Amino acid sequence: MPGGVLVGTAFFVMLVIAAFTSAIAMIESAVAFLEEKCDWGRWKATIVAIATLWLLGQVTIYSFAGAPWTQIDVQVPGKLLGSWFDVIDYATGSVLLPLGGLLLALFSGWVMTRSASQDELDTAPMIFRAWLFMVRWFAPVIIIIIFLQLVGVLNL
């Protein structure tokens, strides 16, 4: 294909740039946390955050490679976790994501003022009342059911 090498090279260069900028955005919250809570300078917080996340990434890479030190047997309700990657995947996908959604629903439905929510959504009053009912009553129940099913307590 004429120009295929050029197009392929440009694609992968742009992919690297996109990955790098995304990594910077993701690590910024960890750096800000370390700056505020540990009273560290920006350089120290950045180096510690990058090193910690890099080491965590290495653990997951070695888990895929089958390194013996990454192989564990942890039983959680309804699932056997065989490597550190499985533990991280379970913790983020089955525990933290549903709990984050539940906390977000509870916060936006019960803690935020009605006027602040309505201003942010900028919808008709009838639609806002339906949204508020769903966020206050329906979403938390459904998220709890999903959470219990993901952690193996509930089997539907």
Residue with tokens 């013996």: 68
How much is the pLDDT for 78? 74
Q: Name the pTM for this structure.
A: 0.71
How much is the pLDDT for 76? 86
Cα Dmax for the chain: 60
Domain span at residue 25 reads 1-65
How much is the pLDDT for 54? 93
Together in a domain, 75 and 94: yes
Instruction: Give the residues of the chain that fall short of pLDDT 70.
Output: none
Together in a domain, 9 and 75: no
Together in a domain, 7 and 48: yes
Together in a domain, 132 and 87: yes
79: phi then psi, degrees, rounded to nearest 5: -155, 140
Domain tally, the chain: 2
Together in a domain, 95 and 156: yes
